[in-house]
Amino acid sequence: MTQLEVRFHYGATPGEKQMRGLDTVSDVYGIRRVSLDQKERTIRVEFDASRLNEPVVAALLRRAGIDVREKVTSS
CATH number at residue 19: 3.30.70.100
DSSP H or E run through 9: strand 3-10
**DSSP reduced 3-state for 61:** helix
Domain count, the chain: 1
pLDDT of residue 75: 53
Is pLDDT of 74 > 90? no
Q: Check: CB of residue 44 under 8 Å from CB of residue 7.
A: yes
Model pTM score: 0.91
Q: Which residue range is the domain that position 13 belongs to?
A: 3-71
**CA-wise closest residue to 10 among 72, 57, 74:** 72
pLDDT in tens, 44-62: 999 999 999 999 999 999 9
DSSP H or E run through 40: none
For 49, other C-beta atoms within 10 Å of its C-beta total 15
